[in-house]
Chains A and B, each alone.
Chain A
């Protein structure tokens, strides 16, 4: 009996289970949301509690262009997945390229904003509570954008090398869930930092 019991194998109708990639990414999104919630709570808790200046009203400018770029990249990545599923590789590649470009514009805009804040407006992470919470929340989000861009950029590279086909649609969808999540988080961060926090 070294093989143990053999359970009789019977036919049990259709047995379908969810895709592990999607489930895994959903779990990651839940865990990441919890991290962001804590940072958002800290930001809101410390709003207006800085002992010294500068205040958000003094130095922050609403990043409309960057926000529009990032939000639209959510739409372009959606079309990229859609086209890959239909095996329209050329259209998929262009949508993916557009996503990467839009994401890069967002990161570049954030970099310029930070440069301006640090060198011209005298706000660093150690200036006051606002600086600490601002750079950590926006920075945490920015680092997620960078990770997303790396994944999308790598996919784009493979696509340009002609190595991506319809069988990879589910994997791209997993990445796109992450990217949608990053966008959704930006809507929250944007509201908290540039609307409520000011």
Chain B
């Protein structure tokens, strides 16, 4: 039997960079997978951001020839597809992966190996999409990316109208990343239901975990239809099927239904995690418990269900009858009720609080205002006759960017500033954070406030150039100028993350004086998360510990 003293570290076996790579590639630790998701999403965020900037340069002046129409069409297709499937989904799953087990006091996800598989297959999907730039035309010649738009309406995707393989890359990459999404969602649900620490009843789960539970449930019933539709498209393109072949009696409208049955709840899949971050960040920096926890849970579940019945509001202009138009108008308006409850409950959480304007809180407040506006323009678009005018115009583009950037991206930035200390053990610089916030805010409003106007003036989306006599120039110049601010702000953010990793202030386990379990362990947490599994008696276990004289459990 070897004694301890006999063990020596062979210098040749010291950990080189390759060992680190192997560590990360073979890891099944939910925190490392979460970080890889986030890193991968940030990488694609930069790429899709560059695509957006190229488009804004092209649209700066009428009849511009900065890029050709073909290139422009690929840019908006890739920008949309990337942002939704390879930025939005992975970044939210990344935070979910990292935070859900920590917040419920678990040591890992329910299925760690499935977790790794889901990440790698989703990552492969993103690379496959971009590989089309080299191979999209197959044997036809040089490569091209798909140019069918991110919702790829039939029959434009049929072989007749999209020869070559670019559309196949689009289909397959989404199919594959969808498998990854379903895997991760399954994992989050199983983790939430089966891995909670003692005392963590469903009614005591942090709202973030609740929202991830709802989001994951939505993934099952929405990503699956998309997967089904993509399988059908593959059958059409490879086996000569006729699902969406209008020449053989197929229906273009059926694709629209299938796509939007996915597409609209997808918006909620993306926005619910943003709500989740807000639910953690706003109370901590108002120094108050969230107002109306049960109502917040009910509203989230309600949004989940109602969001399944609104898809055809994307199709008000396809010529549905008056009945369906009225129905989808109504169901869309109804979803504003649970959404309104959320906004009012956040407001009530702030009310009477002691509000600290830290960087994460600044982004969260930006989120509140912008989400309010996005909700209201959403109501305008739900009025189907108004949508007959505004649908497919730049007004719609402005509206959903208000949701995706103004609400979701702002909350993602907030989440970075809030949880970066937990993930790395170092604070992000507040000064750089302020620059990031204000520049991004200015850029955001320059771009997306003024983007509503050309829509009202009749400018449709997805046009590579426009006529000079329509009165759209000035608005497009303002919109494009905002992009510069946002780009600079994003660079500051990236710089902040790099610099703070090495030189940031040490965070300690609980820099924000917060209340949920992730702050009960060291920063960054050890691979086993908790030395002893915690036991909880209320929704804010750390509050109870810090205020033993008036624990939450007495009031819930």
- The answer to whether A and B touch in the complex, with CB atoms under 8 Å apart, is yes
Residues on A facing B (Cβ under 8 Å): 1-10, 12, 15, 17-20, 23-24, 27-28, 30-39, 42, 45-46, 49-51, 125-126, 128-129, 132-133, 136, 140
Q: Decide if B542 touches A5 in the complex (CB within 8 Å).
A: yes
A-B contact pairs, 12 of them (CB 8 A): A4-B525, A5-B521, A6-B520, A15-B198, A15-B199, A20-B111, A24-B190, A27-B186, A27-B190, A125-B239, A125-B240, A140-B231
Most buried by A among B224, B261, B519: B224
Q: Decide if B249 touches A38 in the complex (CB within 8 Å).
A: no
Contacts of A7 in B (CB 8 A): 517, 520, 532, 534-536, 541, 545
Q: Decide if B243 touches A42 in the complex (CB within 8 Å).
A: yes
Give Cα distance in the complex from A2 to B525, angstroms: 9
Chain A: minimal CB distance from B68 (Å): 35
Mask: chain B, 195-230; 1 = CB below 8 Å from A; 0 = not: 110110000000000000000100111111101110
Residues on B facing A (Cβ under 8 Å): 110-111, 114, 182, 185-187, 189-191, 193-196, 198-199, 216, 219-225, 227-229, 231-232, 235-236, 239-243, 248-251, 254, 258, 261, 508-510, 517, 519-523, 525, 531-537, 541-542, 545
Given contacts A5-B545, A20-B111, A42-B232, 20 further A-B contacts (CB under 8 A): A4-B509, A5-B520, A6-B520, A12-B535, A17-B195, A18-B194, A20-B193, A24-B187, A30-B221, A33-B224, A34-B225, A35-B227, A35-B231, A36-B228, A38-B224, A46-B250, A49-B249, A50-B249, A128-B242, A133-B243
Q: Tell me whether A20 and B190 are in contact in the complex, defined as CB-CB below 8 angstroms, given that A4-B521, A38-B224 are known contacts.
A: yes
Contacts of A27 in B (CB 8 A): 185-186, 189-190, 216, 220
Contacts of B535 in A (CB 8 A): 7-10, 12
Contacts of B231 in A (CB 8 A): 35, 136, 140
Give Cα distance in the complex from A7 to B521, angstroms: 10
Chain B: minimal CB distance from A163 (Å): 21
Give Cα distance in the complex from A39 to B225, angstroms: 9
Give Cα distance in the complex from A96 to B219, angstroms: 34
A-B CB pair tally, cutoff 8 Å: 156
Chain A: minimal CB distance from B194 (Å): 4
The 7 closest A-B pairs by CB, nearest first: A126-B240, A34-B224, A4-B509, A38-B228, A7-B534, A132-B241, A20-B194
Chain B: minimal CB distance from A144 (Å): 13
Select from chain B the residue with minimum beta-carbon distance to A51. B249
Give Cα distance in the complex from A119 to B509, angstroms: 70
Chain B: minimal CB distance from A165 (Å): 23
Q: Decide if B521 touches A18 in the complex (CB within 8 Å).
A: no
Q: Decide if B220 touches A34 in the complex (CB within 8 Å).
A: yes
Q: Decide if B221 touches A129 in the complex (CB within 8 Å).
A: no
Contacts of B251 in A (CB 8 A): 45-46
Q: Decide if A9 touches B193 in the complex (CB within 8 Å).
A: no
Q: Decide if B249 touches A129 in the complex (CB within 8 Å).
A: yes
Select from chain A the residue with minimum beta-carbon distance to B222. A34
Give Cα distance in the complex from A176 to B239, angstroms: 33
Q: Decide if B542 touches A6 in the complex (CB within 8 Å).
A: no
Contacts of A9 in B (CB 8 A): 532-535
Give Cα distance in the complex from A17 to B201, angstroms: 10
Chain A: minimal CB distance from B53 (Å): 37
Q: Decide if A125 touches B241 in the complex (CB within 8 Å).
A: yes
Contacts of A126 in B (CB 8 A): 239-242
Give Cα distance in the complex from A1 to B111, angstroms: 31
Q: Tell me whether A4 and B520 are in contact in the complex, defined as CB-CB below 8 angstroms, given that A12-B535, A15-B198 are known contacts.
A: yes
Select from chain B the residue with minimum beta-carbon distance to A39. B228
Contacts of B542 in A (CB 8 A): 5
Chain A: minimal CB distance from B291 (Å): 25
Q: Decide if A23 touches B228 in the complex (CB within 8 Å).
A: no
Contacts of A30 in B (CB 8 A): 220-221
Give Cα distance in the complex from A17 to B225, angstroms: 30
Contacts of B189 in A (CB 8 A): 23-24, 27
Chain B: minimal CB distance from A15 (Å): 4
B228 touches which one: A34, A45, A46 (CB < 8 A)? A34
Q: Decide if B220 touches A1 in the complex (CB within 8 Å).
A: no
Q: Tell me whether A23 and B248 are in contact in the complex, defined as CB-CB below 8 angstroms, given that A7-B541, A32-B224 are known contacts.
A: no
Q: Decide if A31 touches B223 in the complex (CB within 8 Å).
A: yes
Contacts of B242 in A (CB 8 A): 126, 128-129, 132
Contacts of B261 in A (CB 8 A): 38
B196 touches which one: A3, A17, A33 (CB < 8 A)? A17
Contacts of B114 in A (CB 8 A): 24
Contacts of B519 in A (CB 8 A): 4-5
Q: Decide if A12 touches B199 in the complex (CB within 8 Å).
A: yes
Give Cα distance in the complex from A20 to B541, angstroms: 25
B186 touches which one: A31, A39, A132, A136 (CB < 8 A)? A31
Give Cα distance in the complex from A51 to B222, angstroms: 31
Contacts of A8 in B (CB 8 A): 535, 545
Contacts of A46 in B (CB 8 A): 249-251
Give Cα distance in the complex from A49 to B254, angstroms: 13
Chain B: minimal CB distance from A32 (Å): 7
Give Cα distance in the complex from A30 to B182, angstroms: 11
Chain B: minimal CB distance from A104 (Å): 25
Select from chain B the residue with minimum beta-carbon distance to A6. B532
Contacts of B523 in A (CB 8 A): 4
Q: Decide if B522 touches A3 in the complex (CB within 8 Å).
A: yes
Chain A: minimal CB distance from B109 (Å): 9
Give Cα distance in the complex from A26 to B231, angstroms: 23
B224 touches which one: A2, A20, A24, A35 (CB < 8 A)? A35
Chain B: minimal CB distance from A118 (Å): 13
Give Cα distance in the complex from A139 to B422, angstroms: 48
Contacts of A128 in B (CB 8 A): 242, 248-249
Q: Decide if B509 touches A5 in the complex (CB within 8 Å).
A: yes
Chain A: minimal CB distance from B197 (Å): 8
Contacts of A132 in B (CB 8 A): 235-236, 241-243
Contacts of B520 in A (CB 8 A): 4-7
Give Cα distance in the complex from A136 to B541, angstroms: 52
Chain B: minimal CB distance from A47 (Å): 12
